[in-house]
Amino acid sequence: MKEGGHDVDRQLTMVQKSEAAAFRSLVQDADLARIFEWWIEKKSFQLGLKSLLQEDYRFPMSEIYPRWRRSKVLHERRVAAVEDELFSLAEDAYGCLESRLGRRNWFFGEHPTTVDAFVFGYFGCASLGQISDGKLSEMLSNGFPSLMELVKRVRERYFNTLSSANFVQPQSEPRKSKAPVRSPEEERTWTVSMRYAAGMMIAFFGYIYFASEPVIEFMET
């Protein structure tokens, strides 16, 4: 936005800009708990993001692609901590942000700044309990009403076409991949072709995946 000549922080004083940087850092620290809940906690991943990631693929890619994405995230975001510590860190960050926002519409002044954008982006995602086990969503909904009101305010003011119907619906088991409708003969031909392709793809992607699988050490509580 700054490169395009639009700086939403231009009205802030130097002290406020320093505070804004600290609050953005808090949001980034809290994101470790979301990464754990969405990607690392296996059951949550299986019932949430994996189902979304494999939705538009057929076997074997419906299995390979989610595993590759998860492996990539684990490589990029190595975390060594007790799960409870991550959520405690997130709760502390939420508390600081909630206290600073208070009853104001925005963190600084009468207009939104980058802090409000960070909070909307993070908390708008973290509050989606439908794609995880819902621990963060429950924590936010029950303990931090001002932050959730800010998310709602930004959504209604700047993304008024983004209704609750656009969000992922709750699910108790992974969704099945979508499949095109084929005639019996087309289905047989497709199956034979896929058997040949599947062997090569599984061997190739399997080598990439297992040869580069990271060692993520989360301490058990």
Q: What does the DSSP assignment read for 29-48?
A: HHHHHHHIIIIISHHHHHHT
* Six token digits for residue 7: 């700086």
Q: Give the distance between the most distant pair of CA atoms in the chain.
A: 71
The 10s digit of each residue's pLDDT in 195-208 is 545 555 455 445 44
Domains of the chain, first to last = 16-181 (1.20.1050)
C-alpha 100/C-alpha 103 separation (Å) is: 9
C-alpha 147/C-alpha 152 separation (Å) is: 9
44: pLDDT strictly greater than 60: yes
Residue range 121-126: mean pLDDT, rounded: 82
Peptide bond into 60 cis (omega under 30): yes
pLDDT of res. 213 = 44
Best CA proximity match to 221, nearest among 83, 41, 79: 83
Whether 83 and 23 have beta carbons less than 8 Å apart is answered as no
What torsion, rounded to 10 degrees, do the Cα atoms 148, 151, 156, 160 define? -130
Residue range 21-26: mean pLDDT, rounded: 90
The 10s digit of each residue's pLDDT in 97-119 is 999 999 999 999 888 999 999 89
The 10s digit of each residue's pLDDT in 68-99 is 888 877 766 665 557 778 888 889 999 999 99
219: pLDDT strictly greater than 70: no
167: pLDDT strictly greater than 50: no
* Six token digits for residue 12: 């802030």
Q: Which residue has the higher pLDDT, 36 or 133?
A: 36
pLDDT of res. 166 = 44
- Indicate if the alpha-carbon torsion angle 143, 146, 147, 150 is positive or negative: positive
Q: Which residue has the higher pLDDT, 173 or 74?
A: 74
Q: How confident is the model at residue 194 (pLDDT cuts 50, 70, 90)?
A: low
pLDDT of res. 208 = 45
Strand partners for 82: 219
- Indicate if the alpha-carbon torsion angle 180, 163, 70, 175 is positive or negative: negative
Best CA proximity match to 112, nearest among 163, 143, 157: 157
C-alpha 121/C-alpha 128 separation (Å) is: 12
DSSP 3-state percent helix, strand, coil across the chain (nearest 5): 65, 0, 35
pLDDT of res. 195 = 56
